[in-house]
Structure 1
Amino acid sequence: MQPTSKILSGLMGVCVGDALGVPVEFTSRAERVKMPVTEMTGYGTYNQPAGTWSDDSSLTFCLAESLCAGFSLEAIAKSFCRWYNEAYWTPYGEVFDVGNTTRQAITNLQRGVPPLDAGGTSESSNGNGSLMRILPLSFYSGYLNFSELIERVHQVSRITHGHRRSQIACGIYTSIAMGLLQGLEPKTAYLQGIENMKNFYTKPSDVRQINSHFQRIFGGTIDNLSVDKIQSSGYVVHTLEAALWCFLNTSSYAESVLKAVNLGEDTDTTAAVTGGLAGIYYGLENIPKEWVAQIARKDDIVALATRLEAAINSSSNK
């Protein structure tokens, strides 16, 4: 079992990045260049106090909580509905910043649509809403074979985002996170992660998706692009590219997530996705303590990480 620090580092890495981005979401890159974010701030876009996380972290925690009782798509879907309807796993009992594709999927779930059919499958359903919450599944990498884990990743994406492109983005991200959990350096984890996915995505339809939409990532040199070639919108491919670019072009947790926030636009999600990888690699001890101290429900997040470790240990011993 990877030590608790890896699970907690990953979950807190997502959450801190998310909270850094919340106050400046939807601001332009030009605004961020003029007034870069350098610390945890509050209010701004959603008028929330410093340390407030958004749907990115809420749904990550919902997934992690569900996994504590084993793998059940129905239970995961139910937890997403609880978040939306009851403000479950929110920082202050309020839901804000809900993506349209996620909202529609939850409406479908509440109408009785099965989890695997609830997520949108149209071209326009490729926001980053499943990518932003998928990290907890990577912690099972030591206990499930690669194919089984990636299939579960695809299924969990489909609860809200059913288009194959969104599933593939989640698969790539998980594959790279798995390398970091094995102790690889960032660039090595990236290269091994995409190599594993090349061997996995061999169906012609998947190869077409990769050649059309993921060629910059699969080229193995995403980190060599200049900043003006990196987009930071809510489109899932943009988010994955931006997160990898920020992670690979920095040398600390703080530097990586601040680079993500200061790209502008979908600041909280870009930083959350970046922060998941950076948290695993740099460790909780290297996430600035003053940022962690401001995070809402910090103790609940620590307790969740402990429960998830125990659940993974228990399932591996059966």
Structure 2
Amino acid sequence: MAGAASTPGTESGYRRDQILATLYGQAVGDAIGLLTEFLTKEEAKEKYGEVKKQLELEHKCLSPEAHRKRFKEGDWTDDTDQMILILQSLIDNDGQVKPEDFAKRLKFWSRNGFPELGDFVGHGIGTTTAKVMSNPEFVTQPHKAAFGLWDRNQRNIASNGAVMRTSILGIHQYWDTDAVADNATAICKTTHYDPRCQASTVAVSVAISLMLRRQPRHIKKNGSYDIDTIIQECFQVASSKCLETDEQAKELKTYLECKKIHKLNLCEERKIGYTYKCLGCGFWALKQKDFRKALQTIVMEGGDADTNGAVAGALLACKLGMSALPVSWVSKLKHKDWLDEKIERFLKILVRMKDGTATSETADESSEDQEG
């Protein structure tokens, strides 16, 4: 799919490649992360030490615990399933972001999975998401249900179940940063109300949207992305829209600027699901140049590796493009053809929405394309 020619009704050229890379980067990051999900760094080394330089999806058999057995070889997990639920909601609502519609789909998926793929239940639902969905008002008032759970837990419940699914919201309306941030927040708050969860989803979504826009201020003279500038803008948007105190902003910035992955302590006992650990992992990956090497490094850190891999995979793949993704990882995804069809339908809606924006915005985009 890398470098595929543009077709009528879809995004063209490098941007189409980036969009495909973002979504498949999430899916393969999720799938390869399943290999070490819930393992410690030491356990990951023990089980995969001999193959860690060339991890493949079939290596899941080297750690055959009950959790991994629930997923077939080459399958992604709930992280990408939930991203696809957002994707499907956008398709069926002609590009409109509707939290209640997403909540309804999430509830159905939790009980049935994707029946057309042979699922009988949605595997891997996080504790926070499950508790919010148990609220009788969840389908009609998801924000109220999520706020209630957060409020009852001393307003301190910041797991990674929202940031893991957000890559599609960086693509949707990527030409409008405010819309991207607002959409990410609206979907985040269906299950995760904590400001840190909101800031995580906004930062990741905005980073993807900025890379897709390729504005001159985000591009270096050699044509590569100015990642430091992109990160600073992500921080400014996320902190201003989601956070209230300087202390909160300082913590966000620390994770966004992470340069050494071991400092994230991704397999820290009882804290592997903290949203900022996943955020930090994703933005550490964004600073890397080799997709396979970066994702394998993340996987071998253990912890919530599928979620960390999903977010990191989306960000780094958006930066590098489809050609950077290991062919064996993409080609062996179990439901690739099914996902291809959904992506193509979404792209047709996306280009219609973009064509409907103001003339000045379209002119700006044309100028940016030429400079980028």
Task: Calculate the TM-score normalised by the size of structure 2.
Answer: 0.76
1:232-243 matched pairs, under 5 angstroms: 232=266, 233-243=272-282
Task: Determine if contact 1:58/1:89 at 8 Å carries over to the other structure.
Answer: no
1:20-99 matched pairs, under 5 angstroms: 20-34=32-46, 35-36=48-49, 37=52, 38-40=55-57, 41-43=59-61, 44-45=64-65, 46-47=68-69, 48-68=71-91, 69=93, 70=95, 71-88=97-114, 92-93=118-119, 94-99=121-126
Compute the RMSD of aligned alpha carbons. Answer: 2.4
Q: How far apart are 1:190 and its partner, in Å? A: 4.6
- Which region of structure 1 is more displaced relative to structure 2, 130-139 or 89-98? 89-98
SS at match of 1:25: coil
Task: Determine if contact 2:104/2:139 at 8 Å carries over to the other structure.
Answer: no
1:145-156 matched pairs, under 5 angstroms: 146-156=177-187
Q: Evaluate the alpha carbon distance shift between residue 160 and residue 90 of structure 1 in structure 2; reply closer, same or farther with a 3 A threshold.
A: farther
SS at match of 2:244: helix
Task: Determine if contact 2:175/2:209 at 8 Å carries over to the other structure.
Answer: no
Alignment equivalent of 1:102, drawn from 108, 129, 142? 129
Question: Separation in 2 of the partners of 1:108 and 1:158?
Answer: 14
Q: How far apart are 1:109 and its partner, in Å? A: 5.9
Task: Determine if contact 1:25/1:267 at 8 Å carries over to the other structure.
Answer: yes
Partner of 2:31: 19
Question: Separation in 1 of the partners of 2:253 and 2:296?
Answer: 26
Residue 175, structure 1, aligned to residue 206, structure 2 = yes
Q: Evaluate the alpha carbon distance shift between residue 305 and residue 229 of structure 1 in structure 2; reply closer, same or farther with a 3 A threshold.
A: same
Task: Determine if contact 1:157/1:166 at 8 Å carries over to the other structure.
Answer: yes
Partner of 1:128: 160
Amino acid at match of 1:85: R
Q: How far apart are 1:175 and its partner, in Å? A: 1.9
Q: Evaluate the alpha carbon distance shift between residue 206 and residue 55 of structure 1 in structure 2; reply closer, same or farther with a 3 A threshold.
A: farther
Task: Calculate the TM-score normalised by the size of structure 1.
Answer: 0.88
Q: Evaluate the alpha carbon distance shift between residue 284 and residue 118 of structure 1 in structure 2; reply closer, same or farther with a 3 A threshold.
A: farther
Which consecutive unaligned segments of at least 5 residues does structure 1 have?
none
SS at match of 1:15: helix
Q: Evaluate the alpha carbon distance shift between residue 77 and residue 289 of structure 1 in structure 2; reply closer, same or farther with a 3 A threshold.
A: same
Q: Evaluate the alpha carbon distance shift between residue 177 and residue 111 of structure 1 in structure 2; reply closer, same or farther with a 3 A threshold.
A: closer
Question: Separation in 1 of the partners of 2:313 and 2:306?
Answer: 10
1:261-272 matched pairs, under 5 angstroms: 261-272=299-310
Q: Evaluate the alpha carbon distance shift between residue 83 and residue 143 of structure 1 in structure 2; reply closer, same or farther with a 3 A threshold.
A: same
Q: How far apart are 1:39 and its partner, in Å? A: 1.8
Q: Evaluate the alpha carbon distance shift between residue 5 and residue 130 of structure 1 in structure 2; reply closer, same or farther with a 3 A threshold.
A: same
- Which region of structure 1 is more displaced relative to structure 2, 83-92 or 173-182? 83-92
Question: Separation in 2 of the partners of 1:28 and 1:131?
Answer: 22
Instruction: Provide, for residues 165-220 of structure 1, a one-character-per-residue CA deviation record: whole Å limited to 9, x for no partner.
Output: 10011111112222322345787235323335325634771544212x313135x4
SS at match of 1:152: helix
Moved over 4 A (4+): 89-92, 109-113, 183-187
Question: Separation in 1 of the partners of 2:82 and 2:314?
Answer: 14
Alignment equivalent of 2:338, drawn from 275, 300, 307? 300
The alignment of Structure 1 onto Structure 2 pairs a total of residues equal to: 311
1:154-169 matched pairs, under 5 angstroms: 154-169=185-200
